[in-house]
Amino acid sequence: MKAGKTQRFWRKNIGLKLLALAFALFLWFFVVGEEKAEVSLSVPLELVNMPDDLVISNEFNGAIDVRVYGPRSLVRELVTRRLSHVVDLAKATPGKMTLHITPEGIRLPGEVQVTRIHPSQVNLVLEPLARREAPVEAVLKGAIAADYELKGVELKPAKVVLSGAVREVAKVKKVLTRPIDISGLSVSTKAVVGLDLHRYHLRVVGEPQVTAYIQVEEKIIRESLVIPVEGAGVAYGYKIDPRNIEVSMQGPVSVLRDAARKQDIRAVVQLGGLGPGTYVRRPVIKAPAGVEIETVKPKSARVTIFKEKHSAVSDQPSAKRSQISNLKFEIKKADG
């Protein structure tokens, strides 16, 4: 009876059974008969389940060198696969800890064997985790454009929260940015810049970067110019004494230099409604926007109006402006 059942079992779906047997034999010959190979792989350590209140405070090699041996096709596949050695730190406590690296921690095909692991041990130092807020300071390199000055650098956020071992966090008084290049800068701008933490075993809670708002302004200069005094609003001939006055002013470099070049700074005495005679008048200084008049020497001028019309008087200060001469020039450091 049993012999009959056995015969029926083998006769049922005999084609599929033969195909499965052939495939199994093919795989066996493929694996056993394939040429073997041995290679070295760099396998990173994957630390999992680290307690939230602990941090690793020492430098350690985050990868191990693993030498494997097996069928060439499988070994080649491992070279392109992302392998890792998983280390469970769920039971870790503060202090020194030695990790024993074993082949069991690496997921490999059954036909591939580990022949060597280096290093076979990794030492960790675990310390209690601490957090601390520290100010951020900008590091600048280069020089801004000529005739401009740096008014300031504002960082947002101005402070960051650091996380790390207690003794490491205690060392940090401030956090520096990576160098910000301001070479040739002539306009205010902003830049996103990273933080320089390479000297510490710390990390930043949140984004490890800040935005730097760099404020640049044109330099303010002081200039003293000697300019002629002009009369306006009178039909008679006249004479002004002194003919020239000295005007001290301040303003942006480009504005003052351009005004001096174009002779846009004028001293005018209004004579409208005055008849022949002698008068003392204060010149009105006319200057482009952005120019601030500081002093005028002398403050007043003596004006003599003649009975003759303009055409009858040869000495006319208003008929021809003398060339403006630049007597003094100095850079004024802006307030603030």
The residue out of 218, 240, 259 marking a domain boundary is: 218
Q: Each residue of 3-26: pLDDT tens digit? A: 555 555 555 566 666 677 666 655
CA distance linking residue 176 with residue 196, whole number of Å: 6
- CA dist 134 and 162 (Å) reads 7
Question: Are both 22 and 41 inside the same structural domain?
Answer: no
State how far the Cα of 150 lies from the Cα of 220, in Å rounded to an integer.
Answer: 12
Q: Is residue 142 located within the same domain as residue 111? A: no
CATH number at residue 150: 2.170.120.40
**The predicted structure's pLDDT at residue 153:** 96
Residues 8 and 23 in one domain: yes
Of 70, 87, 119, the last residue of a domain is: 119
The CATH number linked to 275 is 2.170.120.30
Residues 204 and 298 in one domain: no
Where does a domain end: 218, 253, 271?
A: 218
pLDDT in tens, 238-264: 899 999 999 999 999 988 888 878 788
C-beta atoms surrounding 50 within 10 Å: 16
Answer yes or no: do 96 and 159 share one domain.
no
- Residue 185, in any domain of the structure: yes
Number of structural domains in the chain: 4
Whether residues 181 and 256 fall in one domain: no
Low-confidence ranges of the chain (pLDDT < 50): 1-2, 311-336
Q: What is the pLDDT of residue 315?
A: 47
Cα distances from 35 to residues 56, 67, 99, in angstroms, run: 43, 17, 35
124 within a domain of the structure (yes/no): no
pLDDT of residue 106: 82
DSSP string spanning 172-234?
-S-EEEPPEE-TT--S-EEEEEEEE-TTSSEEESS-SEEEEEEEEEEPEEEEEEEEEEEEES-
pLDDT at res. 329: 42
Could you list the residue range(s) of the whole structural domain that residue 107 is in?
36-119
Using CB atoms within 10 A of its CB, is residue 13 exposed (0-12), middle (13-18) or buried (19+)? exposed
